[in-house]
A and B are shown apart, each in its own frame.
Chain A
């Protein structure tokens, strides 16, 4: 009984202890007394009597009725369901916390790995990305014409870009009548070139 009180019994021993205690009023009083001694050592004796056997006996009868009623309510289960099966997992359940932690670590690892590949000092990553992004089909080189500008500098002209701008010159001004940033620098107007 002393070891039972300290949760130091194995399952089989626990059954034996319960058998012994349930069959003896003296053992139940001893169980009560052991706890009283423990409470007193921790500075907390607040009563001077052991349990009331009549109270326990009356409660036992009510509990038996209650147990029978509860078993009727779940007749499909042969034995009492486990606590895990009965209680739904809460969001702060230990299992979910582990899952959340693992997921966070995985996400963090991916982010760090990605960031590391971007900031690699030798520029190798950029080369790799450029190589990856290179289209499979080769683009034929476009003839580029050199046109002298008003400032005397030479501007490289792309005939295909010119054709595109010519076809879409009415899109050069937005609905607000303000040229978009891109087309402000790439316009078909001869004067702005």
Chain B
């Protein structure tokens, strides 16, 4: 499990994934689109560690989401949605690789032999080869900017966001801890996110045009 996967395990127990899954099962495609937006990069990075061909990575990622969509009614919510999606992505990539191995037109270099059997594969601190040093540097820069932006936030905004994102408290619990109405909590978290996002957005705009 790499650092990104760990962050999922630490994510607040009550997040929007379950709500969006239920909404999708009820027929609302827009809800699934939000899940795609949320997890696209992570799934692409995961697949990119198994397959070297960038075009193939995108195909497998697309296929992963299609398969997830088909099987969404089977998602019982016992595990995190990302954990479930992760399994689908790994299985989809394996199937692709298996089919391609029998295809004589595909070169060996397009395929990676690294095994990533399950979500608990050995953590790697060093970046994978599919992540360029430039990308790794940019990700570190984003982390630093976010940390700085958080430090600059007014205490009440920072505290509300930390209680939500890191401690996973509900708005009701945060309101109880901070001694303020739920509406105030909602507003503080929103303002905190807006303030931090405003600092990060220019960095992300610089990366536009790159694939993943």
Contacts and interface: CB of A to CB of B under 8 A. Distances in A.
A48 B10 CA distance: 20
Interface residues of B, number: 76
By DSSP majority rule, is chain A's interface helix, strand, loop, or mixed? helix
A83 B33 CA distance: 20
Interface residues of A, number: 55
B33 A22 contact: yes
Contact of A47 (B19, B66, B139): B139
B139 A45 contact: yes
Interface string B1-36: 011111110111011101100110111111111101
14 contacts: A21-B30, A29-B201, A31-B38, A32-B38, A34-B197, A40-B147, A44-B6, A46-B45, A47-B139, A49-B204, A56-B40, A66-B70, A67-B29, A79-B27
Query: Most B CB atoms within 10 A — which of A37, A40, A49?
Result: A49
A31 B34 contact: yes
B26 A46 contact: no
B190 to A, nearest CB: 4
B74 interface: yes
Interface stretch (A6-14, A106-114, A148-156, A177-185): A6-14
Interface of B: 2-8, 10-12, 14-16, 18-19, 22-23, 25-34, 36-38, 40-42, 45, 58, 61-62, 65-66, 69-70, 73-74, 76, 135, 138-139, 141-143, 146-147, 150, 161-162, 164-166, 170-171, 186, 189-190, 193-194, 196-197, 200-201, 203-204, 207-208, 210-212
